[in-house]
């Protein structure tokens, strides 16, 4: 039982990191600056729901996509690992400034859900995780972890103004760098696993 909970929390934490919360938070604060409180809340909820729906579809149907396009799981591991590493480098080099967006634009799905939360790297990783889950229990753990990670993004966005007051822009930038380091480590492990399986 302990191993199940350990796997669940580990997977949820990994997925949450993959969703690059500091970058999403910064973009949300910039994009909703002129929104009334009710619209900010609605945008946060829509973003969380969109992230979960996209993640679940990719998680459960990623293996079918592999079959349609003729990809092997190991090849996709290596490819998604490389993209994840590039995402990590981007986080390490980014600033906290984001381009302004039209006041009437709905930013919940694009760009918050896609590509900030569910970019190429996180999409690839979720698809690999889904294809690697061989038992109903593993699939349930993955789906539950996706729910928790999406809920974490939702909670973060609902508390965005409070988080900004506590951390300020500098603190958010530091968190972004730390997230980049974590993603780089995850990317290295994903690439190593893909190469090891391919050669073995």
pLDDT at 95: 59
Q: How high is the pLDDT of residue 151?
A: 98
Provide the pLDDT for residue 104: 62
**Each residue of 109-132: pLDDT tens digit?**
988 999 889 987 788 889 989 989
pLDDT in the model for residue 70? 84
How confident is the model at residue 99, as a pLDDT? 47
Which residues lie closer than 8 Å to 132 by C-beta, 6 or more apart?
Answer: 73, 138
Which residues of the chain fall below pLDDT 50? Answer: 99-100
3-state secondary structure of 9: helix
Digit-coded pLDDT (tens) for 159-181: 999 999 998 888 888 888 888 88
Give the pLDDT score at 160.
96
CA distances (Å), origin 42, targets 45, 133, 147, 161, 163: 5, 33, 18, 15, 18
């Amino acid at each position: 039982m302990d191993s199940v909970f350990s796997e669940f929390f580990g997977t949820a934490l990994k997925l949450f990191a993959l969703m690059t919360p500091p970058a999403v938070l910064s973009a949300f604060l910039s994009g909703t600056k002129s929104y009334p409180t009710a619209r900010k809340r609605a945008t946060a909820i829509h973003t969380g729901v969109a992230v979960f729906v996209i993640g679940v579809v990719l998680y459960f149907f990623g293996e079918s996509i592999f079959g349609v396009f003729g990809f092997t799981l190991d090849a996709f591991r290596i490819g998604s690992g490389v993209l994840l590493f590039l995402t990590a480098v981007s986080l390490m080099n980014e600033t906290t400034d984001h381009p302004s967006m039209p006041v009437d634009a709905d930013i919940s799905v694009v760009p918050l859900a896609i590509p900030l939360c569910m970019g190429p790297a996180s999409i690839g990783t979720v698809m690999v995780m889904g294809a690697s889950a061989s038992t109903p229990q593993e699939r349930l753990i993955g789906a539950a972890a996706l729910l928790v990670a999406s809920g974490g993004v939702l909670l973060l966005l609902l508390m965005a103004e409070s988080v900004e007051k506590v951390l300020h822009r500098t603190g958010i930038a530091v968190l972004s760098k730390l997230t980049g380091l974590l993603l780089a480590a995850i990317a290295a492990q994903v690439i190593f696993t893909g190469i090891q399986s391919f050669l073995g």
